[in-house]
Amino acid sequence: MNSEKKVLVLGAGRSAGALIHHLLTHSTKTGFRLVVADADLNAVTRRLQGFSNAEARQLDAGNTEQLRQLVAEAYLVISLLPPALHPGVARLCIQERKHFVTASYNSDEVASLHQEAESLGLSFIMECGLDPGIDHMSAMEVIHRIKHKGGKLTSFKSFTGGLVAPESDNNPWHYKITWNPRNVVLAGQGVAKFKRNNLLKYVPYHKLFTRLEKVVVPGYGDFEGYFNRDSLQYREVYGLTDIPTIIRGTLRRPGFCSSWNALIQMGLTDDSFEMEELEQLTYRDFINMFLVYKPNDTVEKKVADYLGLDENSQVMENLSWLGLFESAKIGLKRGTPAMVIQHLLEQKLVMSPSDKDMIVMQHQFEYQIENKVKLLFSSMVMKGDKNGETAMSKTVGLPLALATLLILEGKLRKAGVMIPTLPEIYEPLLSDLKQHGVQFLEEEQEGYL
């Protein structure tokens, strides 16, 4: 490989650590130079310290000409920028004839570039992180295996959660923020849709955290899953067009969803309007603004009455632990209700330096074969390292790094816009991921039709 080839990483946030480290350890052997560009130049410089085959660049993601120059110098571009910016970066990659890899969801804008990318011999790999990414790869490996032996899939459910490891779980919510806190607050907004027993189902946001699936992971106990926004979009991609049941969801520990639902029901996760006089408010004032005017009732009583709960219930205790009934000033000059809740969560549900996060994923397959019904459970659990590398960073960053090396080493011949549901992508990536602790354990049960 030409030693002048450069790999450009756009963005160096929470999920970039494992990606950058893995690429740096392979840069000399594989023969490329790593360029990492971010708005925080000092942070990038610290990440690259001690590696001679890398350079840090200042990035203004809104400056198209600067982006174009960075892309023009590269052989391959990895984008960790906000999803809304990916189409623009992808178009620049087409114009400058560069490969493109990202962990974010494919979009209509990027998908429309498929023919151009294919004709130019460019590989655009989308959805190559954790969820989406590892979920696609691990699910398709099993789906193809079941079909190859003559099985007919009748149900597919898939759940993933970014959580806190059991040894670091020391709050009543059984949760700590391990990824973008804004996404945590806005999770689930919209309508969830899926298919169960050949019936289309829709769950609106205000009911989402009350319609839960129980999930049991060997060695780690019980979880509850709430439905992702659109479980139907992968029917065709997974080759499951006629499957009676298809569900994708997000995992939390039992009890989290009922407490989060209380915030939703009171309107505290609303991001559609900015609040007035926020500078003067305490958290107690804040929550009281959403409640009926009853001057003789305490805020706690009004909340319990509104939610139909006992004042001593676990949900009320969780809201109290969060600090919503305290007389402490919020400390924001302006913001939406969702921004106030995010501000509070970033104080109360923060990971300490000694904490470990945990990724949990489980696929559930039901299929028919030889007049039998079989259930196959495929589960993966990964924890963060003692050295501070999070499981989230590893499970998002490693697939990106491995897909990048697949292209750089000439092992991926397919061009165009794709996601890692193809054997030529998922087989080598799953094999390499297994060496890094991303391993799925399977359990199978069977019955008769």
Sheet containing strand 76-79, edge to edge, reads: 54-58, 33-38, 6-10, 76-79, 99-102, 123-125, 416-418
Average pLDDT, integer, range 389-411 = 94
Let me know: does 38 contact 20? Beta carbons within 8 Å: no
Average pLDDT, integer, range 356-378 = 96
Task: Give me the pLDDT at residue 179, please.
Answer: 81
| DSSP H or E segment with residue 17 | helix 16-30
Token code pair at residue 283: 């958290």
Average pLDDT, integer, range 47-51 = 82
Reply yes or no on whether the pLDDT at 103 is more than 50. yes
223-266 pLDDT, tens per residue? 999 999 999 999 999 999 999 999 999 999 999 999 999 999 99
154-166 pLDDT, tens per residue? 999 999 999 999 9
Which SS3 state, helix, strand or coil, does residue 19 take?
A: helix
Average pLDDT, integer, range 60-80 = 93
CATH of domain 6-126: 3.40.50.720
276-297 pLDDT, tens per residue? 889 989 999 999 999 999 999 9
Let me know: does 384 contact 168? Beta carbons within 8 Å: no
0.85 cut: is pTM over it?
yes
Q: Tokens 């309508």: give the residue.
A: 191
Per-residue pLDDT band for 4 (boundaries 50, 70, 90) equals: low
Phi and psi dihedrals of 222, rounded to 5? -90, 145
Task: Give me the pLDDT at residue 2, please.
Answer: 43
Bond preceding residue 420 cis, omega within 30 of 0: no
Return the amino acid letter for 109: E
Q: Give the whole-angstrom CA distance, residue 175 versus residue 357.
A: 10
